[in-house]
A and B are shown apart, each in its own frame.
Chain A
């Protein structure tokens, strides 16, 4: 009969909570930087030249059709061969930014294209200039359209980020791996980790839902 031992979990809660904090920090940094990449990618795809569009397409397809684990192995173990070495934490961040940037490019592009062309024409008829049209006619409805995808992408990113522990970058999963190597209470520790990840994901999706009701709670145009 298996003897449960939750002592290592309760004795090291501070370590697990610190790990959770690292995961939140990593996810936020990756999301913010990833959004910059996504905006650039989306702009290149919607208004760039043919060559630029092709390059962005290759980037997006390559990232979306390979596992994150391989991407991080390639960046952490592979790139030093061509003279680019990084610490595990930097490699983890870079890998996450590149990953979320590809998904974000598609989300933002879809958001830009979701605003009907007629709206833009109406803005022009009202003699708004390009910047005004972007700010008042395209941006706000586009933001509302992509908000749900972006927030679920953030939560997905946070869950995926657990994989960075494999190259011994510091995060919640790494704290758990460290703890289970010292105490051998593997099942109990991973159960605790799973619960913490779940609480993080649940907490953020509740928060994002509340923010959506606060900022985008006007009647839908459709």
Chain B
């Protein structure tokens, strides 16, 4: 039966935002941890670590997110785990975010002048101390704007989790559309909700970037 597009449907779609946010949060936190490891490996002098991190980044930046989702989803059966859309989406998006954040943060670490690291070494600081007290705090300033920018990409990326059957914002829209057959309204609403989530972050990223550029040229 086709029914009207009602308030209840709007409520259903809006409340599905929490799953989009949860998935984004998991992927961002997981990706931050993974990305930090990848960035450190990528800037280390250890050849094996460096090569591994580089391959990791190339693979995840050189293949579609959709394929990564499918591979993890169907790969769960390969490693003997029950197939679960949330788990698969969380793992795939975490790996995806690790690669992108790893590459962003590698650039930020490399933007810190070589002399800083040399000065810290001259003060006989160990590698962890050098990273924690000298390099990373400075790299963080460079990294914030592109990191916020990537967050927008990540939130948009969670929409693909709908394809493996996780009921977040996009899937909620599809469900309502199947019942009401008002695709123009339904997908328009869903698009507007994504826009409300992403636009402030885009503006923030742009604002930070502009401030950063002014700080550098001054």
A68 at the interface (CB under 8 A from B): yes
Whether, in the assembled complex, A134 has its beta carbon less than 8 Å from a beta carbon of chain B, the answer is no
Tell me the smallest distance from the CB of A204 to a CB of chain B, in Å.
10
Using A67-B156, A67-B159, A187-B75 as known contacts, say yes or no to A194 and B184 having CB atoms under 8 A apart: no
Interface size in chain B (residues, C-beta < 8 A) = 41
A69 and B67 contact, Cβ closer than 8 Å, known pairs A62-B195, A77-B187 = no
Residue from the list A67, A155, A166, A191 in contact with B194, Cβ < 8 A:
A67
**If A74-B188, A82-B184 touch, does A197 touch B62 (CB 8 Å cutoff)?**
yes
Contact B191 A74, beta carbon cutoff 8 Å: yes
Structural contact, A70 and B66, CB atoms closer than 8 A: no
Which residues of B have CB within 8 Å of A87?
none
Are B183 and A81 touching (Cβ within 8 A)?
yes
> Which B residues, 175 to 218, have Cβ-Cβ distances below 8 Å to chain A?
177, 182-184, 186-188, 190-191, 194-195, 198-199, 202
Contacts of A194 in B (CB 8 A): 63-64, 67-68, 71
Q: Report if A173 contacts B (CB, 8 A).
A: yes
Against A, the Cβ 8 Å flags (1 = close, 0 = not) of B165-178 are 00000100110010
Q: Which residues in A have their C-beta under 8 angstroms from that of B182?
A: 81
Q: Does A160 contact B (CB under 8 A)?
A: yes
Determine whether A178 belongs to the interface, using a CB cutoff of 8 Å to chain B: no
Name the residue of chain B whose CB is nearest to the CB of A62.
B195
Q: How many residues of chain A have a CB within 8 Å of chain B? A: 40
**A190 in contact with B71 (CB, 8 Å):** yes
Is A66 located at the chain interface by the 8 A CB criterion?
yes
Q: Of A67, A77, A160, A187, which contacts B170 at CB under 8 A?
A: A67
Binding site for A on B (CB under 8 A): 58-59, 62-68, 70-71, 74-75, 77-80, 152, 156-157, 159-160, 162-163, 170, 173-174, 177, 182-184, 186-188, 190-191, 194-195, 198-199, 202
List 28 A-B residue pairs with CB atoms under 8 Å apart, sorted by A's residue number. Answer: A2-B77, A2-B78, A2-B79, A61-B195, A64-B152, A64-B202, A65-B152, A65-B156, A65-B202, A66-B194, A66-B198, A70-B170, A70-B173, A70-B190, A73-B170, A77-B183, A78-B187, A79-B184, A81-B182, A82-B184, A159-B62, A159-B63, A162-B64, A187-B71, A187-B74, A190-B70, A194-B64, A202-B58
